[in-house]
Amino acid sequence: MSYLMSNYAPLEVTFIKGEGCYLTDTKGDQYLDGLSGVSVVGLGHCHKDITTAIQTQAGELLHTSNWYHIQHQEALAEKLCQLSNMDNAFFANSGAEANEAAIKIARLHGHANNIENPIILTANQSFHGRTMATLSATGNPKVQSGFAPLVSEFIHVDFNNIDAIKIHANNANVVAVMLEPIQGESGVIIPADDYLNQVQAICQTNDWLLILDEVQTGIGRTGKLFAYEYNDITPDVLTLAKGLGNGVPIGACLAKGKAAKLFQPGSHGSTFGGNPLVCKVALTVLEIIEKDNILNNVIQMGEYLLLSFKSRLKNSDKVVEIRGKGLMLAIELNQDCSSLLNAALNKKLLLNITGQSIRLLPPLIITKTEADIIINTVCELIDAV
């Protein structure tokens, strides 16, 4: 019997050690991590510089409070704003909390314009988190099931359909559009190349905030530090988490222009958010990404995986579509493939199954050796399904 609540259904394995792209279980067996803890451990497990940063910071200062200035938090805000072209940052502990901050900013934006019931447009099949506001924003009835009454004033529109957004242009209560640049949890759904540019144009015309949820796509996952850089745009609000801490819990909500001026003392806060430890680690993550030219590796390995899958699986009658940007990849099959989760585990590879898609989010540091193991194992699994 377990004393844990039943909200997770873990696979029958317990990892006790990690190094680079590999995890070791209680029996001493090694697994290739094709998921990075769901897009978190981008720089690999127990990266030595990150371990050193944690150890050093633990010996200096872990926590004070946001009632005092925090050196590393201010440095991290500056670094992130410089890298993203945003103006300021708020730090939280998770992706959902970063999105909560973004939703609150959107509501303040509405109230500043005398809109009493501000509406945020979000996408069907999106995922924004599990708190009440973020699950209400999420476009997936399964995530919302059982939790009514939901937080109101979210309208869900079809993703990658610009007309679905345009038809709300005459709704005076709309204040923001909140989107993932690539939908991660619903199986790596990549919109048309100019979709975000068009959404931004509509937002600018209507004085709506463009909120991009880069909790999963951010911090190098797609081959750019932020996925919106592919569109040469800057959102009004940007949320980050996952890869920013490489395993320590941190979320960030960055804002620009008018959106950056809405929070005032007392508007929002978090006890743990942005403490010296997590900010030191996030600063180290950003340093390593730059120093080790990680984005270059993501682009090269991402292309290698995508092209190899396309070539190896081109004659497979089970494959519907192969999608990928950087190291965010999915192979959609024409049948249920949930059994592949355990089959992959037996082959010592960690991956995820989302609907009828196999999803891969390997560490950003993978080499051709690991990429080849992933390609061979996944192709064998698909053959046998």
Ligand X SMILES: Cc1ncc(COP(=O)(O)O)c(C=O)c1O
Q: Which residues are catalytic?
A: 127, 213, 242
Among 105, 157, 241, 282, interactor with ligand X by CB under 6 A: 241
Q: Could you give the 3-state DSSP secondary structure of residue 119?
A: strand
Min dist CB 383 to ligand X, Å, is: 30
Among the candidate windows 8-16, 212-220, 280-288, 306-314, which touches ligand X by CB under 6 A? Answer: 212-220
The smaller minimum CB distance to ligand X, of residues 125 and 234, is found at 125
Pick from 138, 136, 131, 215: which is nearest to 181 by CA?
A: 215
Residue 139 lies near ligand X (rule: CB under 6 A): no
42: Cβ contacts below 8 Å, ≥ 6 apart: 36, 219, 220, 221, 243, 246, 285, 294, 363, 364, 365
Among the candidate windows 25-33, 63-71, 123-131, 275-283, which touches ligand X by CB under 6 A? Answer: 123-131
User: Helix 294-312 vs helix 276-291: angle between axes, to the nearest 10 degrees?
Assistant: 70
The smaller minimum CB distance to ligand X, of residues 308 and 354, is found at 354
Min dist CB 289 to ligand X, Å, is: 19
Nearest-angstrom CA–CA distance, 363 and 372: 14
Q: How many chain residues touch ligand X (CB under 6 A)?
A: 15
Residue 213 lies near ligand X (rule: CB under 6 A): yes
Residues in region 66-105 near ligand X by CB under 6 A: 94-96, 99
The smaller minimum CB distance to ligand X, of residues 99 and 234, is found at 99
CA angle 91, 94, 98 (to 5 degrees): 55
The smaller minimum CB distance to ligand X, of residues 86 and 189, is found at 189
Tokens representing 379 are: 């192709």
Binding mask 33-62 for ligand X (x = CB under 6 A): -----x------------------------
Min dist CB 212 to ligand X, Å, is: 10
Residue 185 lies near ligand X (rule: CB under 6 A): yes
Min dist CB 303 to ligand X, Å, is: 23
Tokens representing 221 are: 């996952």
Min dist CB 342 to ligand X, Å, is: 22
Residue 129 lies near ligand X (rule: CB under 6 A): yes
Min dist CB 22 to ligand X, Å, is: 23
Tell me the residue number closest to ligand X, measured at CB: 95
- The alpha helices in the chain, defined as continuous H runs, are 36-39, 48-60, 71-84, 95-112, 132-137, 141-144, 162-166, 195-206, 276-291, 294-312, 340-346, 368-384
Residues in region 310-349 near ligand X by CB under 6 A: none
Among 184, 235, 247, 302, interactor with ligand X by CB under 6 A: 184
Min dist CB 351 to ligand X, Å, is: 15
Among 180, 236, 332, 370, interactor with ligand X by CB under 6 A: 180
* DSSP per position, 197-262: HHHHHHHHHHT-EEEEE-TTTTTTTTSSSSGGGGGT---SEEEE-GGGTBTB--EEEEE-GGGGG-
Q: Are 151 and 170 in contact (CB under 8 A)?
A: no
Pick from 310, 281, 348: which is nearest to 13 by CA?
A: 348
Among 57, 73, 122, 216, interactor with ligand X by CB under 6 A: 216
Residue 128 lies near ligand X (rule: CB under 6 A): yes
Min dist CB 215 to ligand X, Å, is: 4
Tokens representing 339 are: 């059994």
Nearest-angstrom CA–CA distance, 296 and 63: 35
372: Cβ contacts below 8 Å, ≥ 6 apart: none
Please provide residue 319's backbone torsions phi and psi, each rounded to the nearest 5 degrees: -95, 125
Nearest-angstrom CA–CA distance, 137 and 101: 13
The smaller minimum CB distance to ligand X, of residues 37 and 44, is found at 37
Please provide residue 40's backbone torsions phi and psi, each rounded to the nearest 5 degrees: -100, -55
Among the candidate windows 111-119, 180-188, 199-207, 359-367, which touches ligand X by CB under 6 A? Answer: 180-188
Contacting positions for ligand X (CB under 6 A): 38, 94-96, 99, 127-129, 180, 184-185, 213, 215-216, 241
